[in-house]
Amino acid sequence: MTAIIENVRERVGASAGTLKNFIGGKWVDAHATETLPVFNPATEDVLAHVPLSGPEDVADAVRAARAAFTDWSEVPVPERVRYLYDLRSALLDDREQLIRQVATENGKIYSDAAGEYRRGVEVVEFAIGMPTLMAGYNVETVSRGIDTMMERYPLGVTAAITPFNFPFMVPLWTLPIAIAAGNSYILKPSERTPLTAQKIMEICKQVGIPDGVVNLVHGASDAVTSICEDRDVDAVSFVGSARVARIVYELCGRNGKRVQALGGAKNHIIVMPDAVVEPSVANLSESAFGNAGQRCLAGSVMTVVGEAKDKVLPRVVERAEEIKLGFGLDEGTDMGPVIRPDARERIHKYVEQGLDEGAHMLRDGRAKVPEKGFFVGPTVIEIEPESVLAREELFGPVLSVLHADDIDEAIRYLNETNEYGNASSIFTSSGRAAREFRRRTPAGMIGINVGVAAPVAFFPFSGHRNSFFGDLHVTGRDGVEFFTRKKTTTTRWF
């Protein structure tokens, strides 16, 4: 632990412990003077302080990104992706450090951080295909002597605003695709997990990505507003809560920017009576309690259909009892803390409200947690469909349980209890039930006997309803479309 803190201090400057922005290839102090502490949420140690950058800092970054854009967009695309080969190699070299950094500032356990790391690197690998991915198409002789072709061009200055729960993977959902397509890029990471972003920028510099092509501005809402209002930012990719996603989407719309805004989630899992018990229980438990429930793909409501109640539910509760809480880098830890005390309080508040409404506690995670750290234990609670626990995103290790007589009733709950549509899963041995579920679920990411249905990098990561505002999703072909603009040329030679 001490080594990690020392390491961070060394990088941010021992005296101040305040992080710097990375603009135009240089580490610079933010103009803003206000800072927030960055914690290890498992130990409450302060790792660094993050500056709350404002309009001046964002303007500096946009200027640097605009200045870099012209030359960068002229670099041939096969040459641009050579930087990504080097980026991938450097990320592999620093694998251990990156995983430990994620676990330390986010609180997730080593294996979860390793999974996140792998998913982030996969996007770099995907973007290495950019010479093919951004190819256009043409039709000759669309009219007599006339040919038409479509080409994709970079947009210009692009920005990404990211959440705390995947400090490595979510920035990498966009950075490699944006720059391989010829854009310059500004990252505004979560103020609660900014240290991994520092490391990503260091690696970009180390592999020689030209100055100003990637930039980092720390901060919170002021920095975000400045990015969304800056006339010289062409596109904004946002990932975070539904409330802020809507704000960013509307603000970018008013300012004429291309935007994709991924929001929160309230994911349902249906367990059919014919589910294969043991692997399903392991998957359900991982979905609800992995990353302390702080995944946008976390299973939050489990509807047990018919006799699945007796077969599966007691096993899920037993497993919840077995989960060992602690610092994610300590041997034997199964689950880390939530990110901050206010997250813990929000979760407790909703659980209490659910109990007041008549919910029935099966496993109470509020008790028996380590004294230090922002812990909430795995919680399993039986609810009615009208409960606040079926409606609101808790973003913590709470699995609310509904009972249904058949798949129709379970799908109705999934459609009607809340307004999100990120992910949903079914556990069953019946192809017919799975098909029915796939067609009728309102979610964008669907799991069939998969509790965390995270698409790999060459597919779109796609929510619906209040989980997504925009048209083009992140990663896959959508990611390439998002970071390029199309031109169609119609040609005639006399």
Binding site for ligand NAD (CB under 6 A): 161-166, 188, 190-191, 220-221, 224-225, 239-241, 244, 247, 262-265, 296, 393, 395, 422, 461, 463, 467
Phi, psi of 352 (to 5 degrees): -65, -40
Q: State the Cα–Cα distance between residues 140 and 123, nearest whole angstrom.
A: 34
Residue 236 half-sphere exposure toward CB, CA atoms < 13 A = 36
Provide the residue type at 442 as one letter: P
* CB of 107 vs ligand NAD, minimal distance in Å: 13
Nearest approach, Cβ of 111 to ligand NAD (angstroms)?
Answer: 19
Compute the chain's Rg from CA coordinates: 23
Alpha helices in 217-307 (DSSP H): 221-229, 242-254, 277-289
Q: How many other CB atoms sit within 10 Å of the CB of residue 128?
A: 20
Residue 360 has φ and ψ, to the nearest 5°, of -120, 115
Q: How far is the CB of 422 from ligand NAD (least distance, A)?
A: 5
Nearer to ligand NAD (CB atom), residue 159 or residue 204: 159
Which residue has its beta carbon closest to ligand NAD? 240
SS3 state at 373: coil
HSE-up (13 A, CA, CB side) for residue 102: 27
Element containing residue 492 per DSSP (H, E): strand 484-492
Shortest distance, CB of residue 292 to ligand NAD, whole angstroms? 12
Q: Is residue 296 among the annotated active site residues?
A: yes
Residues contacting residue 227 through CB under 8 Å, at least 6 positions apart: 58, 62, 159, 161, 186, 188, 217, 233, 236
CB 335 within 8 A of CB 397: yes
Do 63 and 92 touch, CB atoms closer than 8 A?
Answer: no
* Residue 242 beta carbon to ligand NAD: minimum distance, rounded to whole angstroms: 6
Marked catalytic residue, from 204, 228, 252, 296: 296
Q: Which of 208, 230, 202, 165 is nearest to 20 (CA)?
A: 202
Q: With 0-12 CB in 10 A as exposed, 13-18 as middle and 19+ as buried, what is 250?
A: middle
CB of 463 to ligand NAD, least distance (A): 5
Nearer to ligand NAD, 273 or 463 (CB): 463
Distance separating alpha carbons of residues 429 and 426, to the nearest angstrom: 10
Q: Which is nearer to ligand NAD, 183 or 267 (CB)?
A: 267
**What is the smallest separation between the CB atom of 106 and ligand NAD, expressed in angstroms?**
10
Residue type, 139: V
Q: Do 291 and 299 meet the contact criterion of CB atoms below 8 Å apart? A: no
Residue closer to ligand NAD, measured from CB, 72 or 166? 166
Q: Which is nearer to ligand NAD, 161 or 312 (CB)?
A: 161
Q: Which is nearer to ligand NAD, 177 or 308 (CB)?
A: 177
- Residue 110 or 395 with smaller CB distance to ligand NAD: 395
Among candidate residues 239, 179, 197, the one with its CA nearest the CA of residue 21: 197
Name the residue nearer to ligand NAD (CB basis): 121 or 251: 251
**92, amino acid identity:** L
Q: Angle of helix 195-206 relative to helix 95-106, nearest 10 degrees?
A: 160
The phi, psi pair for 39, rounded to 5°, reads -105, 155
We find the least distance from the C-beta atom of residue 195 to ligand NAD, in angstroms, to be: 14
Q: In angstroms, rounded to a whole number, what is the distance separating the alpha carbons of residues 69 and 47?
A: 34
Give me the least distance between CB of 207 and ligand NAD, in Å please: 25
- Report the distance separating Cα 176 and Cα 191, nearest Å: 22
Query: Of the two residues 80 and 257, which places its CB atom closer to ligand NAD in the complex?
Result: 257
Q: Per the structure block, which two tokens stand in for 292? A: 């302390």
* Active site (catalytic) residues: 296
